[in-house]
Amino acid sequence: MALKKENFVLSLGGSLIAPKEGIDAGFLRRFKKLIARHVRRGRRFIVVCGGGATARAYQKAAGLAASLSRDELDIIGIQATVLNANLMRAVFGSLSHSEVVTDPRVPMPRSAPVIIGAGWRPGCSTDYDAVLLAKRFGAGTVVNFSNIAYVYDKDPRRFPGAKPLKSISWADFRRQFGSRWRPGLNSPFDPVASRAAAAMGLRVIIADGRDLANIDRILAGKPFKGTVIG
């Protein structure tokens, strides 16, 4: 499946940026090198960073220490995405816009080949920000990179015989994963973002972001491992 060559919207899971085992500087370096190679081919990237384990750890601690609302827990998670995004912006250096974008409605810089984004407001994840940015930039596909290679027909952690899906409709995806958001939700794609993407007719690719050769194939419009939703 060929993707739009000019603009790519990537939703980068926090589990890739800052996994529980510690920040993987090697991954950050290799990811930058891969994106820089595509930038030299005239392509532009919006990379929206998730909170991952960092967000969930802070949210868990906050929930144990005090009785907090969903919005308060979400705000904590959003700050974790901002931390991850600032790390990523520093890694990209002069390739990226000088500030992290936290509101997808504001005017976007036109000169920087890489724009780094983070969480926006309570009630959704950074997947939703990626969907809004795809709409603004006219991108027909959001590529969601996390630590899973496919969407499965069942939870593979509970069902060893779960089968990977190469494609799934939005109706089936939302039926399987629900439509309600909660802070720290660990889903292949945020249900709020899923609802918006389905309404827009947007395609989402779910793929393992640790497989950089596969990322390269996706960005080049070549056959890849992953699930296409929509």
Which tens digit of pLDDT belongs to each residue from 78-114? 999 999 999 999 999 999 999 999 998 888 777 889 9
- Top-tier CATH class for 7-229: alpha beta
* Coil, strand or helix at 200: helix
Using alpha carbons, select from 191, 207, 145 the residue that is nearest to residue 14. 145
- Specify the pTM: 0.89
What pLDDT shows up at residue 7?
Answer: 84
Using alpha carbons, select from 185, 89, 194 the residue that is nearest to residue 144. 194
In this structure, what token pair is assigned to residue 196? 């918006």
Residues of the chain short of pLDDT 50, as ranges, are 1-5
Q: CB of 55 within 8 A of CB of 77?
A: yes
What pLDDT shows up at residue 210?
Answer: 93
Q: CB of 51 within 8 A of CB of 45?
A: no
Give the bridge partners for 146, in sequence order: 208
- What proportions of the chain, in percent to the nearest 5, are helix, strand and coil? 40, 15, 40
Strands 227-229 and 203-208: antiparallel
What pLDDT shows up at residue 4?
Answer: 45
What pLDDT shows up at residue 2?
Answer: 43
Indicate the domain borders of the chain. 7-229
Cβ-count burial 172-192 (b if 16+ within 10 Å, e if not): ebbebbeeebebbbebbbbbb
Q: How many CA atoms lie within 13 A of 109 on its CB side?
A: 17
